[in-house]
Amino acid sequence: MKTAILSSPPAFQVGSKEKVTPLQNKTAQVKATAALNTEVIDSTESGRNRLIILGTLLLLFGGAALVYYLQADFQAFNSERINSPIGLAFLIATVALLLFKISFFAYNVYLYFKYKPIKSVTDEELPTCTVIVPAYNEGKLVWDTLRSIAASDFPKHKLQILAIDDGSKDDTWYWMTKAKQELGDRLFIYQQPQNKGKRHALYRGFNLGTGEIFVTIDSDSIIKGDTLRNLVSPFIRDENCGAVAGNVRVLNHKKGILPKMLNVSFVMSFEFVRSVESALGSVLCTPGALAAYKSDAVFECLPEWIDQKFMGKASDIGEDRAMTNMILRQGKKVLFQRNAIVLTDVPEQYKGLYKMFIRWGRSNVRENLVMAKYVFTDFRKESKFGARLLFINQFLTIVMTYPFLLFMLFLIAMHPILFFSSTLLGILIVSSFPVLFYAKKYSISESLWAYSYSLLYTFGLFWIAPYAIATAGKSGWLTRELVPK
């Protein structure tokens, strides 16, 4: 292992001449060649990205033009559906669902403009905070994560940092010990005797932590200087706040096409959707990448959380959604802080992406079933309308998964041209909002990835939801095997 030289090089003397050795000259040539190669790679990737965006737009507008050209065929198809009892029933259900979704979206837009993140409180007001970082096969990224936490603009005497290696098979423990050497008594590191899952690593951290607020951060995530103080401030401003979700962005968005797509998707998912949920006091999931919990709320549900089972099996996924659900059930608010930003690593390959989505999908099915048991009870003194509305929206999406899948397969078999043209037009219409949303906040050129992502999800990941429902009882993290970094 090479040791970095920390001392500064001596300053050049004015008027002095330094002899350049052949080795230095060769090193300079190597660096210049590497820089040139990097420029070539960047240029090639940029050209490829432009081609993908251009191809996406041509495909979508081509589909829209085809729909216009096939108007007579669409009218004939709709007539067939109206004359068929099954087709008519499905048409009525589709129109009803569509009207609900449009009304729900309009209400979301209103709530988005109503939402305002809570500004940071003073150092004196900030609560004591325990940050827990569970890690498994994360390698050097955990070192970067811990250093970013230690660099936070948060009073050091109020911050406790715990890192827990969950039986990693790579060099994760080495990088934890390296962070410990740098940070000293500011960091406490622990090693599980074997891999027991993220939930158990967090459980150990909860029991070791002494802070008034617990913050959980994934070991592949980097936070900004003001993230922690912004994240925990809602607990001071609202006594009934039980948990807070952070604002997750993509760390590796320059390393591939999928991260570019997910970066736009995450902005929509967090800065729009969770802003809306927060305005209702009912954020449905505090993300593992960055979340904060009131310690009293955690300990109230901790025994149930660690022993949670689904279909008789121990739950080893969805620990963040489960904790959120249990805290909502306590009658507490779950809020979102748009100004508490974390950058997290996302899959760069299709296999890693669909495995992540399967895990999320299974957790979503499980926790919606759990939520159904309490959401229509008197679980909260304050308004319960928001939580119930959000639940109904998610529940309808799950319930209609198989009917829409069957209808899609029927259209593909019987009317393939009508299916693909209408689907492309639908993507163009629906995805235009995320495009405009991202373009307004960040970048016009990057916003166009929302169209490409919708194409990928519609045609390449459509099977995730029905598969997740059918296999909701299965366990497994799926995305933490040893892979090249």
Give the tens place of pLDDT for each residue, 240-295.
999 999 999 999 998 889 999 999 999 999 999 999 999 999 999 999 999 999 99
What does each C-alpha distance from 444 to 51, 95, 434, 448 come to in angstroms? 16, 33, 11, 7
The answer, yes or no, to whether residue 33 has pLDDT greater than 60, is: no
Mean pLDDT of 453-459: 96
What does the pLDDT look like over 404-420, one tens digit per residue?
999 899 889 989 999 99
What does each C-alpha distance from 460 to 353, 363, 366, 454 come to in angstroms? 11, 21, 24, 9
Residue 188 tokens read as 């406490």
* pLDDT for the residue 41: 54
Instruction: Pick the closest to residue 139 from 219, 259, 222 (CA basis).
Output: 219
The model's confidence at residue 92, banded by pLDDT at 50, 70 and 90, is confident
Judged by average pLDDT, the poorest of 6-10, 96-100, 204-208 is 6-10
What does each C-alpha distance from 86 to 90, 92, 386, 402 come to in angstroms? 6, 10, 34, 15
Residue pair 343/234 in contact (Cβ under 8 Å)? The answer is: no
CA distance 218 to 109: 30
Burial of 21 (0-12, 13-18, 19+ CB in 10 A): exposed
Mean pLDDT of 327-338: 98
The model's confidence at residue 48, banded by pLDDT at 50, 70 and 90, is confident
* pLDDT for the residue 94: 84
Q: Spelled out in words, what is the top-level CATH class assigned to the domain 36-69+115-485?
A: alpha beta
> At how many degrees (to 10) do helices 257-267 and 350-372 cross?
30
What does the pLDDT look like over 123-177, one tens digit per residue?
999 999 999 999 999 999 999 999 999 999 999 999 999 999 999 999 999 999 9
The answer, yes or no, to whether residue 22 has pLDDT greater than 60, is: no
* DSSP summary character for residue 336: E
* pLDDT for the residue 6: 32
Is beta strand 187-191 parallel, antiparallel or unpaired with respect to 290-294?
unpaired
Q: How far is CA 224 from the centre of its chain?
A: 17
* DSSP summary character for residue 270: I
Residue pair 170/213 in contact (Cβ under 8 Å)? The answer is: no
* pLDDT for the residue 485: 41
List, in order, residues 6 or more apart from 362 with CB less than 8 Å away: 317, 318, 468, 471, 472, 474
Burial of 232 (0-12, 13-18, 19+ CB in 10 A): buried
Is beta strand 129-135 parallel, antiparallel or unpaired with respect to 213-217?
parallel
* pLDDT for the residue 136: 95
**pTM assigned to the model:** 0.87
* pLDDT for the residue 190: 97
Instruction: Pick the closest to residue 330 from 366, 365, 294 (CA basis).
Output: 294
* pLDDT for the residue 46: 81
Q: Is the model more confident about 364 or about 74?
A: 364
The answer, yes or no, to whether residue 479 has pLDDT greater than 60, is: no
Mean pLDDT of 369-382: 96
Residue pair 66/423 in contact (Cβ under 8 Å)? The answer is: no
SS3 state of residue 465: helix
What does each C-alpha distance from 364 to 334, 373, 468, 476 come to in angstroms? 17, 15, 9, 15
Rounded to the nearest 5 percent, the helix, strand and coil shares of the chain are 60, 10, 30
* pLDDT for the residue 14: 35
* pLDDT for the residue 18: 42
